[in-house]
Structure 1
Amino acid sequence: MMTQATQFTLHWIIDPLCGWSYGALPLLQATAAAWPSQNVLHSGGLFIGYSRRRIDADWHRHVSEHDARIAELTGAVFGENYRQHLCRDQSVVLDSLPASAAMLTLQQQDDGDALAFLAAAQHAWYVDGKDITQPAVLSALAADLAIDTGRWQQASSDAAKKQATQAIEQTRQLMAQHGAQGFPSLLLQRGEQFINVPVNRFYGEPAALVKQLRQWLSA
């Protein structure tokens, strides 16, 4: 039975293909370490459905500017293969759904695997320059994480993608209800009350975020 002190949920709203979500990974990992059972991952669906787009020169210019800012504020590392190759590969279609569906399904199975998978997917994309929209790339990550074959088949199935699409719509409604804008967003829920945590104030300072959350939770 949950005690009064543990009756809360930390709703992390991210996207695997969002650079700012990548920069916020240490914050997410810190709250997950502090409260392993209270963290819930949500995908915002940055590139799904009609929002999917092919990498082109305009996108490359746009994302390069943001990546420089993300690196400056968060300390996130963007690898040479990502910057010089993946970001210039105009055959790549930006699609958040495959990685999002796998992450959300793994969360239903085991919270730790979901966060480990997210971290591996982000590293593959932003550091190694691997195209995580491709099933073979995601399957290789799952194998590296020793995720059981049966569980992975479920996480990468069409049914998982359909369920994820519905979950993303619910997440967008949650964001609209509580004034969360963009990715990453963090909502602290206690009962029916939600606090919209200003994640941007804590980039590069995971310990400060945990400290602030502890203060709010003890109030």
Structure 2
Amino acid sequence: MSTSPATLHYATLHYIHDPLCGWCYGAQPLVSAALAMLGNRLELRLHGGALFAEAQELTPAMAEHIVRADERIEEISGQPFGEAYTEGLLAEQGTVLHSLPPIAAVLAAGQLHPDAAYPMLVAIQHAHYQRGLRVVEADVLAELAEELGLDAARFGDAFASANGSATIEHVQASRRLLGEVGGQGFPTLVLEVQGVRQVLPHSQDYGRPDAFVDRIAARLPAVH
């Protein structure tokens, strides 16, 4: 997760997301490809917008709606949805959807190491959509942090500090940004170059990460 001191960022990719948003999971390969290919020219900033700002118990009707949406997401993006999620988590009684704990976990990971925030988000998405884990629970989030190599005690302290007013303020700021740029929901990807922000169209790039990378690269300043 280390970043070279010589790394220069010429632009910022603002990613307004939610860890429990299926379309954000579908967009994960796009963001990961942009970091892999353009990371020395691009800084990623995460903005959790809280799709489920209040804890909400999953009903059969909600689960049916989510399954249909996920089938469409998998078809378009190629992102897999595991049986432990589709036949387990979504089918179990008492499953709760709540965005604030996983957002707090991403913030906590970023406090421990700036480069750990995005891997934590990816780990949460993978745990939710493929492993069928209850990522709204603090102990599950702590296990994911440990799997990333973060110190358990330090993560626990950072999570406890973030999981409250800090996360609520972060969500409020993320939603303000979404309104300022005219975003249409989650995910919204915004490229900022020399103080000028523009929303990146990405829906046509699901399943085509190279096209998304090319879209960003064409907007970046020339390297001299």
Q: Tell me whether the two structures share a fold, i.e. TM-score over 0.5.
A: yes
> 1:154, 1:160 within 8 Å by CA — same for their partners in 2?
no
Equivalent in the alignment of 2:45: 40
Structure 2 residue 207 is the aligned partner of structure 1 residue 204? yes
The aligned amino acid for 1:101 is A
Contact 2:13 2:192 in 1 (8 A): yes
Note if 1:132 corresponds to 2:118.
no
8 Å contact from structure 1 (residues 103, 155) kept in 2: no
Conserved? CA contact 2:120–2:144, under 8 Å:
yes
1:153-186 Cα shifts (integer Å, max 9, x gaps) = 2332144432111011011011101111111110
**Alignment of structure 1 residues 20-39 onto 2, 5 Å:** 20-33=23-36, 34-35=38-39, 38-39=43-44
TM score, norm. by length of structure 2: 0.89
Once the two structures are TM-superposed, the CA of residue 190 in structure 1 deviates from its matched residue by 1.9
What residue ranges of structure 2 are gaps of 5+ in the alignment? 1-7
Q: What SS does the aligned partner of 1:88 have? A: coil
- Give the distance between the partners of 1:211 and 1:108, measured in 2 at CA: 31
Aligned to 2:198: 195
> Structure 1 CA distance, aligned partners of 2:79 and 2:136?
21
Higher helix share: 1
Alpha-carbon deviations, 1:100-126, whole Å to 9, x = none?
Answer: 011023224323311211111111111
Structure 1 pair 159/138, CA: closer, same or farther in 2 (3 Å)?
Answer: closer
What is the aligned counterpart of 1:82 among 81, 85, 96?
A: 85
Alignment RMSD: 2.0
Checking the alignment, whether the CA contact within 8 Å between 2:142 and 2:152 is kept in structure 1 is no
Specify which of 151, 156, 171 is matched with residue 154 of structure 2.
151
Matched, 1:13 2:13: no
Aligned to 2:110: 107
Distance 1:132 1:112 in 2: 21
Whether 1:215 aligns to 2:218 is yes
SS at match of 2:197: strand
Q: Deviations over 1:26-80 (max 9, x none)?
A: 111112222255111111111113xx31101110111011001000010010011
Q: Tell me, in whole angstroms, the C-alpha distance in 1 between the residues paired with 2:195 and 2:45.
A: 16
TM-score normalized with structure 1 length: 0.91
Query: Which residue of 1 is the match for residue 5 of structure 2?
Result: none
The count of corresponding residues between Structure 1 and Structure 2 is 215
Distance 2:68 2:114 in 1: 33
Taking only the aligned residue pairs, the percentage that are identical comes to 36
CA pair 149-90 structure 1, distance change in 2 beyond 3 A: same
CA distance in 2, matches of 1:8, 1:159: 27
Equivalence for 2:122 = 119
Q: Map 1:153-192 onto structure 2 (within 5 A).
A: 153-192=156-195
Contact 1:124 1:130 (8 Å CA) reproduced: yes
